[in-house]
Amino acid sequence: MSAPVIDPVRPAAPDTPAGRTSKAQRTTPARFDTALGWNDRPGLAWALRILLCLIALAVFAAPFLTIFSGAFTTNPSGSSLSFLPHDSTLLNFRVAGERGIWDYLGNSLVIAGGGLLLQLVVCTLAAYALARHRFRGQALIMMLFMMTLMLPEEVIAIPLSLVLGDVPVVHLDLKGTVWGVILPLGAWGFSVMMLTEFMRDIPAEIEEAARLDGVGELRMLWQIILPLCRPALGVAGVLGFIMIWDQYLLPLIASKDPTDYTVTVALSILRTDPEVGSGVVLAGAVIALIPSLIVYLLLQRSLVTGIAAGATKG
């Protein structure tokens, strides 16, 4: 398994700076750039492509506008739910606030922050051992981490909820605490494998030179290996955040009562509350959406690279 870090955005051909050079100067015509041979000259195919792009935009992105417009509309139901708000209001957010949405968001942020930190530390340490050391049982350990991917929360939900209520040996009850969500997220096989492959590609000479200078294991990882891993850490970070933010079943089974819910799980409380309308639910959805939106827009390059490359390991 080599590390196929493929950037899906092919680097621009050197002969087409920003695609503005005249067609005559290109060595390969535009129609050889894409599988379908799209032409960048206005014409029938060009118009068709624009039309299809607009449809794709309407199908996949426009619904997000309805979340925002609905959240700012007093009482959206059915027809008043449209792409643009009619009467802007913050009432929905105030009602959602009264139902404790900010506390839920607080839970989510603590879990996402703590979970991500733990995940990055744990997975980096494991990856360092797997990539830069040789020891007996290495292949077996690698397989164990790979197997964690095959045991998602869905499959082990029922026994996991028992374990969270009474952790073996130490007999702690993690239910109702953020640790009940954070700790199970720590060992994520995906991050371990991605970081391992990245660290393996770091030349051994760098490590040997540092060893001659008497650098110990921890300093080696912290000062030599990690700075070289920044791109991979970015990928692990953004994918980890999206994965943690998307958790649904885990916060559900790790909670003791509804105040322990994360903001995404709490949306169902708002929905089943007969006293609040769909506008409040949408306000909650906006609040649950914005952190992942920010992370995505800031770090989308890492995210896309990670999915394209890491997908090979599932």
Q: How far apart are the first and last CA of the chain?
A: 13
Contact between 23 and other proteins per CB under 8 A: no
Q: For 73, phi and psi rounded to 5 degrees? A: -110, 140
Task: Tell me the closest approach of the beta carbon of residue 186 to other proteins, in angstroms.
Answer: 4
73 CB burial (10 A radius; 0-12, 13-18, 19+): buried
Interface pick for other proteins out of 265, 269, 276, 302 (rule CB under 8 A): 265
Binding window for other proteins (CB under 8 A); candidates: 84-92, 93-101, 122-130, 225-233: 122-130
Residues 34-73 that bind other proteins (CB under 8 A): 34-38, 40, 49, 52-53, 56-57, 59-61, 63-64, 66-67, 70
Interface pick for other proteins out of 7, 15, 98, 173 (rule CB under 8 A): 7
Both tokens assigned to 262: 């994360």
The helix-helix angle for 278-310 and 263-272 (nearest 10°) equals 150
Contacts of 129 (CB under 8 A, 6+ apart): 135
Residues 278-297 that bind other proteins (CB under 8 A): 278, 281-282, 284-285, 288-289, 292-293, 296-297
Report how many residues bind other proteins under the rule CB under 8 A.
116
Contact between 10 and other proteins per CB under 8 A: yes
Contact between 133 and other proteins per CB under 8 A: yes
Between CA 17 and CA 23 the distance in angstroms is: 12
Cβ nearer to other proteins, comparing 47 with 151: 151
Confirm if 54 and 48 have CB atoms less than 8 A apart: no
Between CA 270 and CA 286 the distance in angstroms is: 13
The DSSP letter of residue 168 is T
Contact between 308 and other proteins per CB under 8 A: yes
Contact between 3 and other proteins per CB under 8 A: no
Both tokens assigned to 30: 């535009």
Interface pick for other proteins out of 3, 91, 109, 187 (rule CB under 8 A): 187
Cβ nearer to other proteins, comparing 159 with 227: 159
Cβ nearer to other proteins, comparing 91 with 167: 167
- DSSP string spanning 248-306? -HHHHHT-SSGGG--HHHHHHHHHH-TTS-HHHHHHHHHHHHHHHHHHHHHHHHHHHHH
Q: For 108, phi and psi rounded to 5 degrees? A: -60, -45
- Taking alpha carbons only, the member of 264, 279, 230, 271 closest to residue 81 is 279
Task: Tell me the closest approach of the beta carbon of residue 260 to other proteins, in angstroms.
Answer: 15
Confirm if 229 and 198 have CB atoms less than 8 A apart: yes
Contact between 110 and other proteins per CB under 8 A: no
Residues 137-166 that bind other proteins (CB under 8 A): 141, 144-145, 147-148, 150-152, 154-163
Residues 198-257 that bind other proteins (CB under 8 A): 200, 204, 207-208, 211, 217, 221, 242, 245-246, 248-249, 253
Contact between 171 and other proteins per CB under 8 A: no
Both tokens assigned to 142: 């690698």
Contact between 20 and other proteins per CB under 8 A: no
Binding window for other proteins (CB under 8 A); candidates: 80-88, 94-102, 226-234: 80-88
Interface pick for other proteins out of 183, 233, 235, 276 (rule CB under 8 A): 183
